[in-house]
Amino acid sequence: MPFRILLAWLVFLALQPLADAAASSISLKIQSRATFGQNLQVSLQITNEGDESAFSVTPEIQGEGISRLLAVKDELKPGQTYEVEEILALNSPAPGTYALRLIMHYADANHYPFSAVAPVSYVVGKESPSQIAVIAKNTELPGEGPIKFMLKNLRRSPLAVKVTLPLPKALTCGNAVQKLRLNPGGVKILTFDVRNVTGLENSVYALFAVLDYETDGMHHSDIANVVVKLTRAGKPRGFSVYWIPVFLFCLAILYRLRI
């Protein structure tokens, strides 16, 4: 019997990566709109374009002075769309352009957590044109590495800038929020040290950084987009209790074969 258990475990380990590779996928398409009147109204449409249900779909809104979890959708089946709207009270924000960071938390059938990120902008009073030119080079990321943004101040006065890089759960960054000073006409290279935690090899992520700053009483939130391709898989997710039936099935087959 100990030999059967050992052999079943070896067969299980051999089958696990094959099952993971053939696993179905969840792909959430996020459409959003944000408008400011007396309050901030955010409307979201989340569509599951994959072939597997997403569970516990929970939208989160983050921004300057904003952090809100919205109503949970227990299950979002393939092809279904989840529509949700939230009204947020803001305390007399300065005029200008603002950006929200939308984070979609969800899980697969094994309750393994995932997330997707997307931006949406809104205007208070009058739109504020960007005062910073940004260049971001699309990046191939092995296990870990830098994502770089080049920032150039277009003004003749200095700028104090806060830059935020929101990430999905598959990636992590120890310096995801950075503050810097841009001299008049100055150029700086901003580097985020990103590590792949659980992302699959050849996965592609459309990421973005948000640049918040103020000029002449106007608020600015610029969005800089960058595409990151993972060239190496992250750490294995580890053993899940949902693999126990597979292991027992392997053991039963070996027992019937009298191995």
* Domain annotation covers residue 223: yes
* Domain annotation covers residue 237: no
- Output the pLDDT for position 91: 85
- Output the pLDDT for position 253: 63
| CA dist., res. 210 & res. 102, Å (int) | 12
DSSP 89: -
- Output the pLDDT for position 25: 80
* Domain annotation covers residue 124: yes
Counted domains in the chain: 1
Q: What is the CATH number of the domain that holds 22?
A: 2.60.40.10
Grouping H, G, I as helix, E, B as strand and the rest as coil, residue 54 is strand
* Domain annotation covers residue 7: yes
pLDDT of the chain, 259 residues: tens digit per residue: 555 554 444 444 444 444 443 445 888 999 999 999 989 999 999 999 999 999 999 999 999 888 999 999 999 999 999 999 999 998 889 999 999 999 999 999 999 899 999 999 999 999 999 999 999 999 999 889 999 999 999 999 999 999 999 999 999 999 999 999 999 999 999 999 999 999 888 899 999 999 999 999 999 999 999 999 999 876 544 444 444 555 565 556 656 666 5
- Output the pLDDT for position 241: 44
* Closest C-alpha to 61, from 33, 38, 37: 33
* Domain annotation covers residue 55: yes
- Domain range enclosing 120: 2-232+242-256
3-state secondary structure 132-169: EEEEECCEEECCEEEEEEEEEECCCCCEEEEEECCCCC
* Domain annotation covers residue 37: yes
